[in-house]
Amino acid sequence: MAEMFHEDDADLAVIQSKTVAVIGYGSQGHAHALNLRDSGVNVVVGLREGSKSVAKAEEAGLTVKSVEDAVKEGDVVVILAPDQVQATLYKEQIEPNLRPGAALLFAHGFNIHYGYIKPAADHDVIMVAPKGPGHTVRREFEAGRGVPVLVCVEQDASGQAWPLVLSYAKAIGGLRAGAIKTTFREETETDLFGEQDVLCGGLSKLIQTGFEVLVEAGYQPEMAYFEVCHEMKLIVDLINEGGISKQRWSCSDTAEYGDYVSGPRVIGPEVKEHMKEVLKDIQDGTFAKRFMDDQAAGAPEFKKLRAEGEAHPIEAVGKQIRSLFSWSEEVDKDYTEGS
Ligand code: NDP
Ligand code: MG
Ligand code: MG
């Protein structure tokens, strides 16, 4: 059983006694910075020159400085720029300005686990990884709740890394929901596996393939969209509430029986073998290298694949259908379709 932490396991005073430099003000950055500030922590946001994020952070009442100046002030430096820029950012702007003994905090273990960032021995290297998008982390905090977090310590230079990581997790609201103790390796590899095999890669391809099969068989694209995409959220909500069993309980007996007899035909043993191959590429660094090499070359493969995904016919049908129905108003206003 995983070791878990709750509100009583952490002392907010630990993080309140420090200056926290949050580098990056995107999905996670804005949520961490604002939740920390609202928990009485001294926060300075570090952004590059000309950054689009400066205005947003300043409007929210935060102090914004250059990355270098923010790092110089930080007892804790939180690296919340995209994973693919962190290594260069660290080498050029963070490392030369770190205070002796400053703690380095991440929300994902990619750069530490695969060795793209190698901090000196006098820094605590810790992680608080919310198990949800940054906008949810902020929204839940404002509603008095929290998103569960993963917590880990890779390097405990101070001997005080655990009280620090737990205090930080509490300040962003994570302990209201609960924290699970893990390691950088486990967090990184399971996170990549989850998003590639199931949550993002597996799910996107499952929906697209289902859509293609129906449309190629002559059914209306709008019908296909409703059946294989729109209803997904309703099913996932039930699974979230009460597991796969609740979903099966709620749908018709016809659907439940079809689930048992046809699910294993679609996701057969070969899919499990493919998942193992993907896991192996994650474990041995093959995926990380492919991603980072492509990014270093200006992301040609990434851009090509993104354009192909956006051009899939389900996107146009979905956009049209969502604009016709009232539930389309529930979408997150921070995201503009087609941007
Ligand atoms: P975002 O893409 O949302 O971060 C963008 C921010 O980083 C912007 O403020 C951007 O500023 C800044 N930035 C981009 N490039 C640079 C640069 N070269 N130098 C300085 N600042 C830069 O990142 P996420 O919040 O998605 O991810 C941050 C970390 O959190 C990652 O490690 C990720 O794996 C992890 N994580 C993310 C989750 C999520 O919900 N998205 C969930 C859990 C973990 P500018 O305006 O200048 O472009
Ligand atoms: Mg991830
Ligand atoms: Mg149906």
**Which two three-digit tokens encode residue 100?**
């002796």
What would the mean pLDDT of 152-166 be, rounded to a whole number? 98
Which residues are CB-neighbours of 172 under 8 A, at least 6 positions away? 31, 32, 35, 36, 39, 128, 130, 137, 141, 146, 149
Tens of pLDDT, residues 69-102: 999 999 999 999 999 999 999 999 999 999 999 9
Tens of pLDDT, residues 170-191: 999 999 999 999 999 999 999 9
DSSP single-letter state for residue 335: -
Q: Evaluate if residue 332 carries a pLDDT over 70.
A: no
Q: What is the pTM of this model?
A: 0.92
Alpha helices in 117-252 (DSSP H): 134-142, 161-171, 174-177, 184-193, 201-216, 221-225, 231-250
Q: Please report the pLDDT score of residue 1 as a whole number.
A: 87
Tens of pLDDT, residues 105-122: 999 999 999 999 999 999
Q: Is 65 within the bounds of a domain? A: yes
Residue 222 and residue 178 share a domain: no
What would the mean pLDDT of 154-172 be, rounded to a whole number? 98
Rounded-to-integer distance, Cα 42 and Cα 257, Å:
56
Q: Please report the pLDDT score of residue 327 as a whole number.
A: 61
Q: Are 71 and 95 in contact (CB under 8 A)?
A: no
Q: Evaluate if residue 328 carries a pLDDT over 60.
A: no
Residue 175 and residue 215 share a domain: no
Q: Evaluate if residue 163 carries a pLDDT over 70.
A: yes
Residue 228 and residue 123 share a domain: no
pLDDT confidence tier of residue 339, bands split at 50, 70 and 90: very low
Among candidate residues 182, 211, 243, the one where a domain is terminated: 182
Q: E-assigned strands of the chain?
A: 4-5, 19-23, 42-47, 63-66, 76-79, 103-106, 125-130, 149-155, 179-181
User: Could you give the angle at which helices 27-38 and 134-142 cross, rounded to 10 degrees?
Assistant: 20
Percent of the chain with pLDDT over 90: 94
What would the mean pLDDT of 326-337 be, rounded to a whole number? 57
Residue 261 and residue 234 share a domain: yes
Q: Is 226 within the bounds of a domain? A: yes
Q: Evaluate if residue 335 carries a pLDDT over 70.
A: no
Q: Is 288 within the bounds of a domain? A: no
Q: Is 286 within the bounds of a domain? A: no
Please count the other Cβ atoms lying within 10 Å of the Cβ belonging to residue 9: 16
Residue 243 and residue 125 share a domain: no
Average model confidence (pLDDT) for the chain?
A: 95
Residue 99 and residue 241 share a domain: no
Catalytic status, residue 108:
yes
Q: Is 120 within the bounds of a domain? A: yes
State residue 179 phi and psi, 5-degree precision.
-120, 145
Number of domains in the chain: 2
Q: Are 98 and 134 in contact (CB under 8 A)?
A: no
Rounded-to-integer distance, Cα 303 and Cα 40, Å:
41
Does the annotation list 48 as a binding residue? yes
Q: Evaluate if residue 20 carries a pLDDT over 60.
A: yes
pLDDT confidence tier of residue 338, bands split at 50, 70 and 90: very low
How far away, in angstroms, is 30 Cα from ligand 1 center?
A: 9
Q: Which comes out higher in pLDDT, residue 327 or 154? A: 154
Nearest CA to ligand 1 atom 23: 82
Tens of pLDDT, residues 244-283: 999 999 999 999 999 999 999 999 999 999 999 999 999 9
Q: Evaluate if residue 334 carries a pLDDT over 80.
A: no
Q: Please report the pLDDT score of residue 329 as a whole number.
A: 52
Q: Please report the pLDDT score of residue 333 as a whole number.
A: 56
Residue 84 Cβ < 6 Å to ligand 1 = no
What would the mean pLDDT of 187-206 be, rounded to a whole number? 97
Q: Residue 197's closest CA among 301, 268, 279?
A: 279
**Whole domain around residue 174: which residue ranges?**
4-182
CA atoms within 13 A on the CB side of 190: 9
Residue 21 Cβ < 6 Å to ligand 1 = no
Q: Is 339 within the bounds of a domain? A: no
* Of 28, 89, 110, best ligand 1 pocket probe by most atoms within 8 Å of the beta carbon: 28
Which residues are CB-neighbours of 163 under 8 A, at least 6 positions away? 10, 11, 14
Rounded-to-integer distance, Cα 146 and Cα 313, Å:
37
Residue 205 and residue 171 share a domain: no
Nearest CA to ligand 1 atom 29: 80
Q: Evaluate if residue 324 carries a pLDDT over 90.
A: no
Q: Is 187 within the bounds of a domain? A: no
* Pairing between β-strand 149-155 and β-strand 125-130 as defined by DSSP bridges: antiparallel
Residue 304 and residue 167 share a domain: no
How far away, in angstroms, is 23 Cα from ligand 1 center?
A: 8
